[in-house]
Amino acid sequence: MLHRLGIKVFAGAGNAAPLTDFIPLFHRWIQQSLLDELLIDVGDYSHVPNGPGIVLVGLDGNYGVDETGGRRGLLYYLKRPLERSVEAQLEVACRRALNACRLLEQDEAAGGIRFATGELQFIAHERREAPNTDETFAALEPLLRSLATRLFPGADVAFERETDPRERFAVTLKSPVPAPVEELLSRI
């Protein structure tokens, strides 16, 4: 069953704090147990252009200030199955990503980062379970539509799919009606 699901919430314009500023911040999150899962370590990939940035390694999933594709954002992905449906796991990943965004927006050490919540990217990290094909999109689209309806009620959410079969399966949900992180969290 597909379980390595990720959600990336893109940072808004003007969020250019050095990636290395997030290292002590993530270490503090570990020390203070600020998230609802066991956090283990911090990985520094700031030297990789357009790469994974700074990764907060957890037992169930990883958080990161990610710059893949040249766009900074908060990426969370589940690493372990949660004994739930794919839809429920997607909801957990989304909730954890948005909660981390909330914490970053509230933390002065994050350099005033704000998130452009009108855009969320869903990523399947398992190429074998979810190859980047039309069939995978057809299977996952109803789950993504359901999530989009909950997050952005009444909005006409557009879906943009990564179509290069060499890339991971990824779909970006774009809403013309963004909402604050706190509001999105209340809808999940």
pLDDT tens digit sequence for 81-94:
777 788 888 999 99
Query: What pLDDT score was predicted for residue 49?
Result: 93
* 3-class secondary structure, 134: helix
Which pLDDT tens digit goes with each residue over 79-136? 987 777 888 889 999 999 999 999 999 988 888 899 999 999 999 988 888 899 999 9
| Residue 1 pLDDT greater than 70, yes or no | no
pLDDT at 85: 85
Q: How far apart are CA 25 and CA 28, in angstroms?
A: 5
Triad 176, 168, 186: Cα angle to 5°: 40
Q: Residue type at 65?
A: V
Give helix then strand counts, H and E, for the chain: 4, 8
